[in-house]
Amino acid sequence: MDPEIKREMEEIHALAKDNHRLLRAMRRHQLFGMVVSIVFWLVILITPFYLYQQYLQPFVAKFQTTTTGSPTSGPFGLPSSAEIEKLINSFKAGQ
């Protein structure tokens, strides 16, 4: 085999190996980026529900029943203005 052709074949082989290495690295980084993106969006979407359950739910539950213990009658389970007024009066009476 001609030495010039052999040298060119070795150079092409080296370039193909380097190209293969770069493509594998790109695929690996793409997969890693996709996993990080999925975890990021899961955290973004789940965090509000977790924070609601941990911090806001006890506060909301406190206002879902009035001082008499009956459930609230306002829309969406919120207290009506009369119930809020009773709550304010009971708070003022406690001071």
30 in the same domain as 6: yes
pLDDT for the residue 22: 97
Are 41 and 1 found together in one domain? yes
In the structure encoding, which two tokens stand for residue 69, read together?
């213990």
| pLDDT computed for residue 45 by the predictor | 95
Residues 60, 70 within the same domain: no
Domain that holds residue 91: 65-95
Q: Note the pLDDT of residue 8.
A: 95
For residue 65, the cross-strand partners are 71
Domain tally, the chain: 2
Query: Whole-angstrom Cα distance, residue 8 to residue 3?
Result: 9
Model pLDDT, residue 77: 67
At residue 16, the pLDDT reads: 97
Mean pLDDT in each 10-residue stretch from start to end of the chain (95 residues)?
A: 92 97 97 97 94 82 60 66 84 77
Please report the pLDDT score of residue 58 as a whole number: 76
13/7 Cα distance (integer angstroms): 10
Which residue in the block uniquely carries the two structure tokens 């690996």?
A: 28
Pair (9, 45) in one structural domain? yes
